[in-house]
Amino acid sequence: MNNLSVIVGNSSVQLGTKFAKKCKANLVKSEVRVFPDGESKITLKGKISSKKTIVIQSVYPPVDTNLIQALSLVSKAKEFSKEVILVIPYMGYARQDREFLPGEIITMKVLAQMTKGVGASKIIVVDIHSKLGLKHFKTKTQNISAIPELVKYLKKLRLKDPLIISPDQGGKERAKLFAKEFGSEFLALEKKRDRKTGKVKIISKEVDVKNKDLILVDDMISTGGSIIHAAEFLKKQKARQIFVACTHGLLLNDAEKKIKSSGVKQIISTNSIPGKTSKVDISNIILEAITDA
Ligand code: R5P
């Protein structure tokens, strides 16, 4: 694309570089040094377009560091470019989209103010936790879905009598979409989370999953708690094999190991967060979104 530059942030090097090549943009690399006190010093290498710049930087842990880097990149790009689009493949803080308990701060509102303040003209995110989070933004936003890409990958596994499962009712629409794309049925379990301790439990009764291959679908896996409880429940109900497909594999601490021990055969996530399970590339869907923007 003419007169377009892509600034690749430190947290999205592999995805951002792929994306920049695909849209034939000027690649601007960011050299980052994080000081012992946690401050980030960023130096950009490359030519920033006067017309349009896309900044790509995921906000996974260290969340606050990656967030300030994203904001800094937009702020610098805005000094040169008329239009700056911020692509945040994984948007940290997306779960803080409402006041669950009195006094809680809706951090998504703060993010909306900050991204506007540094001059982003549009924010693009991938499979955001809930659309409510984006309602706090006054700038244009777009949520794109990695589900078709995840489905393409899962289809290659040739599963037996597959069924799509959401670990909770909140993910019902996601599972429905996944199932439609996959060409199978779906169901959503009932999960209860203690708002104070964060602990989860599955409160569904019996489900008909006997001898079926299951795909547990979620937007993100953080500690793995939701998936582990669901997998243990489904194993007790005599499921055959359980696969997990999620867009954002945070997989904190030893979540991956714990999920595997709960009976999950394979975890598949996207490169919104790079890691061992990030087998699905989302550069094409970001490219489509940018082309339409
Ligand atoms: C919750 O509603 C989300 O969709 C995920 O299921 C949840 O945030 C994953 O977190 P964890 O892996 O810690 O259970």
CB 218 less than 6 A from any atom of ligand 1: yes
The residue whose two tokens read 């037996």 is: 160
Q: State the distance from the centre of ligand 1 to the C-alpha of 229, rounded, in angstroms.
A: 11
Q: What pLDDT is recorded for position 2?
A: 65
Do both 127 and 163 map to the same domain? no
- How many Å separate Cα 80 from the centre of its chain? 29
Amino acid at 115: T
Do both 67 and 177 map to the same domain? no
Catalytic residue numbers? 191
Q: Between the CA atoms of 276, 277, 281 and 285, what dihedral angle is there, to the nearest 10 degrees?
A: -140
Do both 164 and 252 map to the same domain? yes
CA 268, 276, 16 angle in degrees (round to 5)? 90
Do both 48 and 91 map to the same domain? yes
CB 273 less than 6 A from any atom of ligand 1: no
Query: φ, ψ for residue 41 (rounded to 5)?
Result: -115, 120
Whether 12 is in a domain gets the answer yes
Do both 159 and 237 map to the same domain? yes
25: containing domain? 4-145+281-292
pTM of the model: 0.94
Q: What pLDDT is recorded for position 51?
A: 96
Do both 24 and 83 map to the same domain? yes
- How many Å separate Cα 36 from the centre of its chain? 28
Q: State the distance from the centre of ligand 1 to the C-alpha of 139, rounded, in angstroms.
A: 27
Q: What pLDDT is recorded for position 204?
A: 82
**DSSP alpha helices (H): ranges in 188-274?**
225-236, 255-261
Amino acid at 91: M
3-state secondary structure of 20: helix
Domain count, the chain: 2
CB 219 less than 6 A from any atom of ligand 1: yes
pLDDT in tens, the chain (293 residues): 669 999 999 999 999 999 999 999 999 999 999 999 999 999 999 999 999 999 999 999 999 999 999 999 999 999 999 999 999 999 999 999 999 999 999 999 999 999 999 999 999 999 999 899 999 999 999 999 999 999 999 999 989 999 999 999 999 999 999 999 999 999 999 988 887 887 888 888 889 999 999 999 999 999 999 999 999 999 999 999 999 999 999 999 999 999 999 999 999 999 999 999 999 999 999 999 998 76
Whether 276 is in a domain gets the answer no
